[in-house]
Structure 1
Amino acid sequence: MADRVNVIGDAAIEVIAAEGMRGLTHRAVDREAGLPVGSTSYYARTRAALLELAIARIIELDSVDAEPPPGGLAESMAGYVHEAITTGRTRMLARYEFALEATRRPELRRVYDEGGLSIRRRAAEVLAARGSPEPERHATVVVNWMEGTIFDALAGTGSLAPPGPAALRSSAREVLAGIGVA
């Protein structure tokens, strides 16, 4: 069952990224997933349930390890941002659609905010382990840099020439140096 729910969540992400929230229907998700008509509505009876399933899948895919891989924190940050603007592009576009939709739907706001707070908590844990004297505040700085860089590269003027891995590593190092964490 979990596999089928993930397939439906992934298909919903694709539909949202390609067609926006108005294009998200049970039938569109069935079609994108290559499932028989009615399959999506078996797992998500209402549109609200389908939206919650899709945002839960985005949050699951956005999850990052609390401990950066070998190579350092700047490399980890740059790697996450690079993945988000390349192979994760669709997921991120869908996430931005959800961010806007959550401003109008309190039930999505709660789920969306829980996911964002989880990412900030993990960032604060990593920064605390690296010696940050203000890990929560510094996590906000780091996450805002990542979010802003991703948004600019996908939907802003930065989409004309998105940054590559070297530029992202350099910027990440500058952000970390600015908060006194290297």
Structure 2
Amino acid sequence: MIVDRISAIGDAAIEVIAADGMRGLTHRAVDRAAGLPAGSTSYYARTRAALLELAIKRMVELDQSDIDPAAKDIAEVLASTVHAAITVGRSRMLARYEFALEATRRPELRAAYDSGGLEIRELCVALLGAAGSTNPQRHARVLLNWLDGSIFDALAGTGSTNPPDKEELAEGARAVLNGLGIPSAQ
């Protein structure tokens, strides 16, 4: 029950940040968005910093649940991940951009933001290593840059008026993987 409530608060914080930016994030706004009684959010996250950290942890948890490390076709996994990020996960990505910008100004947030990002990077390194990458650390950086760029363009860039579908994303992922010398299907 407590885990469900904490997840609900994290989800609501993400939605508030995506809709209203960092300035709109308050304990009361999260209570309202989560449909919880007043004071619920502050019970689990006493300070704004604790609330921000809870939201970051929830984003990482959701990101990790979106990736299937046992998948046979890496390009399809990547395409599904990006497509989900620009459709059903749109709010999470918009909140992530807000966090990224805020982390450049607040060192205490930078540590939590970077920690979450490293967890995703390590998952990507492991996925590429299993696929036969000769340099999974370097290849993960290239691949994550493609992912980040594709998502940003589809949500906030000039590509937002005509975002790619899964097929186009899979083609792009295959091109990047081929360029790195990694077969897309395991």
Could you say which TM-score interval applies, normalised by the shorter chain? over 0.9
Matches within 5 A, 1:16-27: 16-27=17-28
Distance 1:65 1:161, change over 3 A: closer
Q: Is the 8 A contact 2:67 2:81 kept in 1?
A: no
User: Which structure 1 segments of 5+ residues have no match?
Assistant: none
What is the TM-score with the length of structure 1 in the denominator? Answer: 0.96
Structure 2 residues without counterparts, runs of 5 or longer: none
Q: Does structure 1 retain, via aligned residues, the 8 Å contact 2:10–2:55?
A: yes
Aligned to 1:67: 69
Query: CA–CA distance in 2 between the matches of 1:175 and 1:94?
Result: 27
Larger mean Cα displacement after TM superposition, 129-138 or 80-89: 129-138
Q: Read off the aligned partner of 2:23 and give its amino acid letter.
A: R
Match of 1:50 in 2: 51
Asked whether 1:15 is paired with 2:16, we answer yes
What amino acid maps onto 1:85 in structure 2?
I
Q: RMSD of the alignment, in Å?
A: 1.1
Query: 2:173: which partner in 1?
Result: 172
Residue identity matched to 1:69: A
Give 1:176 shift.
0.3
Q: Deviations over 1:5-44 (max 9, x none)?
A: 1111101011000000000001100111111111111111
Deviations along 1:31-71, one digit per CA (max 9) or x if unpaired, are 1111111111111111111111111111111115462424x
> TM-score, length-normalised on structure 2?
0.94
**Alpha carbons of structure 1 residues 107 and 66: separation in structure 2 relative to 1, 3 Å:** farther
- Which has the higher mean CA deviation after the structures are superposed, 59-68 or 160-169? 59-68
Query: Do the aligned residues in 1 keep the contact of 2:67 with 2:77 (CA within 8 Å)?
Result: no
Pair 1:67–1:123, CA change in 2 (3 A): same
| Structure 1 residue ranges (4+ consecutive) displaced by more than 2 angstroms after TM superposition | none
Corresponding residue of 1:150: 151
Give percent identity, aligned residues only: 65
| Paired residues, number | 181
| CA distance in 2 between partners of 1:34 and 1:131 (Å) | 47
Contact 1:66 1:122 in 2 (8 A): no
